[in-house]
Amino acid sequence: MTIKEIILPDLGSTTDVTVVEIAIQAGSIVKKEDTLLTLEGEKASMEVPSPYSGTIKEIKIKVGDKVNIGHLIASIDETEETQENLEKTFPKSTPPAKPAQTPTPTTSFSTGNIHAGPAVRMLARELEIDLSKLKGTGHKNRITKEDLITFIKQKMSQGSGLPTPPQIDFAHYGVIETRPLSRIKKISATNLHRNWLLIPHVTQFDEADITDLEIHRKSKAIEAEKQGFKLTLLAFIMKACVAILQKFPQFNASLDIKMENLILKKYFHFGIAVDTADGLVVPVVRDVDQKTVFQLAKELGEISQKARTKELKPKDMQGNSFTISSLGGIGGTAFTPIINMPDVAILGISRSYQKPIYQNQQFIPRLVLPLSLSYDHRVIDGAEGARFITTLSSELNTVR
């Protein structure tokens, strides 16, 4: 028997957090990354994944406990016999089942005995939805995120005249395969749908002449490689964005929940969209204004690696004030990035290309970078959006 202890990892909280839901019980067979429990702090809720695959032997906490980093959660058996049970429980030909859950009553802003996880309750509070009006389809009538999404879609269809998507049997037309979305894509789908519907998007396009900047970057790239990281163009773009955000502070802001005040942020924490095998994640690089281009390039490499190896913690993806999504390594000429709420703007970067530009009575090949700026039209008008992106373009024209 190989017994291992599961310890609460660093979740980025400086104070104790509360155990609000335990998704396992003694004897539960879990796989690595399955949710063990849900915690809730003053400002956010978070799920704690299992670091191992095996059979839960003993649970060391209970609902309502206050816990912090290093707290013993449970013990788990990783023996070969347990691995055989895992293969029987989660056959390779079928998607893995969810671990056994022990739902507990939680409360929302309505009264009554409501079964719902903290993520569902947080989303319900943000959208001002009374959970007592929902009928849960989970175990013991537990309200799931899918129940909330269904409720929202029904209300949107009724109130805005949006049609209900047609129910189509695609197998009628040929062979099909049903492939479940990853957990990250399910979460992203909900957030992106909400952001697109709640924020009136406008996208402004421009190009920056980065010929001199690219020459400068390459001249410094060898030095960066000696230090063990790549000096990417994105690091220079981040520094340029800080300079422009300082001139246009309304882009480094959030609209309050009542849509009456603009909260201007004095810090510069950038969310950087990272493509992974399971979907898009947005880790945050903090204090961009206080770091050099070399420091940013090194940190970008580190967070990208953590994102792709599923080592990001909840605190690594919180607190952004502005977001950048770069598709330069993939291609495309332009795109419309969706604003990452509660931000009011997001910058999209496409692949640079050679373009003939007329200078000194002749056409000269120059390297240009396509820029796509999406902004919240409730707080930023078209003139401000145009000024921001043209000023950014000029900033990138100058070697830093």
SS (H, E, C) 117-164: CHHHHHHHHHCCCCHHHCCCCCHHHCECHHHHHHHHHHHHHHHHCCCC
H-type alpha helices, the chain: 80-89, 118-126, 145-160, 183-198, 211-226, 233-247, 293-308, 382-397
Q: Which 8-state DSSP code applies to residue 26?
A: T
Of 191, 124, 189, 206, whose CA–CA distance to 339 is shortest?
Answer: 191
Q: How far apart are CA 85 and CA 69, in angstroms?
A: 31
Give CA–CA dist 205/219, Å, rounded: 29
Q: What is the DSSP string of 308-347?
A: HTT---GGGG---SEEEEE-TTT--S---PPP-TT-SEEE
**Of 208, 207, 346, which Cα lies nearest the Cα of 273?**
346
Q: Is the peptide bond before 337 cis (omega within 30 degrees of 0)?
A: no
The DSSP code sequence of 377-388 is TTT--HHHHHHH
- CB count within 10 Å of CB 26 equals 11
User: Could you tell me the end-to-end alpha-carbon distance of the chain, in angstroms, rounded to an integer?
Assistant: 60
E strand segments, 235-294? 253-255, 262-264, 270-272, 274-276, 279-281, 284-285
Which member of 71, 193, 201, 377 is catalytic?
Answer: 377
Cα gap 246→225, rounded to integer Å: 31
Q: What stretch of H or E contains 110?
A: none
Q: Check: CB of residue 4 under 8 Å from CB of residue 52.
A: yes
Is residue 377 part of the annotated active site? The answer reads yes
Q: Do 57 and 29 meet the contact criterion of CB atoms below 8 Å apart?
A: no
Local structure of residue 266 (DSSP, 8 states): S
What are the catalytic residues?
Answer: 377
